[in-house]
């Protein structure tokens, strides 16, 4: 077989007369290897720096704050839940939609409500499992407080529609499209604020912050009490307004009280009837309904 052709470097090493040339070649090889090594190190360093830059906005920021997130990272999620549930449980379902629509028209709203409530949980599930933006509570999660703005506006419109003759407010009575939009707006806001509250406190607890699990347990307990309280207030309010004539189809009051006396009576009677309903839960004989 024909031997492969020798390279120029092999030829130089086979000629001992050219010692100076050999040394030059060896030096050249060392320089080439050194440059290649430096190039590899530079590429590796560049990749490392790129990785650090990519994660610096979320992952690295959260890693640096482990165990010292601050009280704001726990207080904001707590208030998110309390502020949203008092509006949602007071309005839905006794007043919005059943206080403004007949029972038959409310059927489609009841069917669609779970879908709109789950928009928020699905969004946060995707963010938490498929992105790195929810490593810890950050300022951009405080921006979800914007969803609180529609809640007092909805409450104001509903109360004005029931107790006043304001045409702008009373136009929502027996209007399925308007009541449906208002109900869905309420559900979407609550659907984002409630899961964000639980997830934010869970992040706070599992990131080794002081008192994290204590705060989380307190939140779970207070959430049940808060929902029970405002649900009973909703029952008391609905029972009181119906007894005064503020109900479908015409919302004609059956009393002769002044506005001041009416508001005082509404306030007192709402809590009185809510307490009565709460006591009735303990006296209820479930055997009568089985």
pLDDT tens-place string over residues 50-87: 444 445 566 777 777 777 788 888 899 999 999 999 99
pLDDT tens-place string over residues 81-135: 999 999 999 999 999 999 999 999 999 999 999 999 999 999 999 988 888 888 8
Q: What does the alpha-carbon distance between residue 269 and residue 236 come to, in Å, rounded to a whole number?
A: 7
Residue 112 structure tokens: 């669609």
At residue 53, the pLDDT reads 46
Average pLDDT on 225-237 reads: 94
Lowest mean pLDDT among 12-21, 121-130, 176-185: 12-21
Q: Are 196 and 133 in contact (CB under 8 A)?
A: no
46: alpha, beta or left? (left if phi > 0; alpha if psi -120 to 50): alpha
Q: Tell me 26's DSSP state.
A: H
Hey, how many other C-beta atoms are within 10 angstroms of the C-beta on 203?
22
The pTM of the whole model exceeds 0.85: no
Residue 225 burial (C-beta neighbours within 10 Å; 0-12, 13-18, 19+): exposed
Determine the length of the chain. Answer: 290
């Amino acid at each position: 077989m024909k031997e492969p052709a020798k390279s120029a470097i092999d030829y130089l090493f086979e000629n001992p007369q050219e010692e100076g040339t050999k040394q030059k070649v060896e030096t050249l090889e060392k320089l080439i290897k050194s440059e290649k090594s430096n190039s590899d190190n530079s590429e590796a360093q560049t990749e490392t720096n790129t990785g650090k830059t990519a994660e610096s906005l979320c992952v690295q920021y959260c890693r640096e704050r482990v165990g010292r997130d601050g009280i704001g990272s726990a207080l904001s999620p707590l208030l998110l839940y309390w502020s949203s549930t008092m509006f949602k449980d007071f309005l839905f379902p006794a007043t919005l939609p059943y206080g403004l629509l007949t029972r038959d028209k409310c059927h489609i709203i009841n069917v669609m409500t779970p879908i709109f409530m789950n928009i928020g949980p699905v969004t946060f599930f995707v963010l938490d499992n498929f992105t790195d933006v929810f490593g810890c509570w950050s300022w951009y999660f405080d921006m979800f407080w914007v969803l609180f703005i529609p809640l007092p506006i909805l409450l104001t419109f509903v109360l004005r529609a029931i107790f006043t003759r304001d045409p702008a407010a009373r136009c929502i009575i027996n209007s399925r499209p308007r009541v449906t939009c208002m109900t869905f707006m309420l559900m979407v806001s609550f659907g984002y604020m409630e899961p964000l509250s639980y997830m934010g406190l869970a992040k706070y607890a599992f990131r080794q912050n002081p008192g994290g699990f204590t705060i989380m347990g307190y939140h779970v307990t207070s959430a049940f009490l808060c929902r029970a309280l405002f649900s009973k207030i909703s029952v008391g309010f609905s029972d009181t307004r119906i007894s005064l004539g503020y109900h479908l189809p015409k919302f004609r009051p059956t009393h002769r009280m002044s506005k001041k006396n009416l508001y005082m009576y509404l306030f007192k009677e709402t809590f009185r009837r809510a307490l009565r309903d709460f006591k009735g839960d303990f006296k209820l004989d479930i055997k009568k309904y089985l």
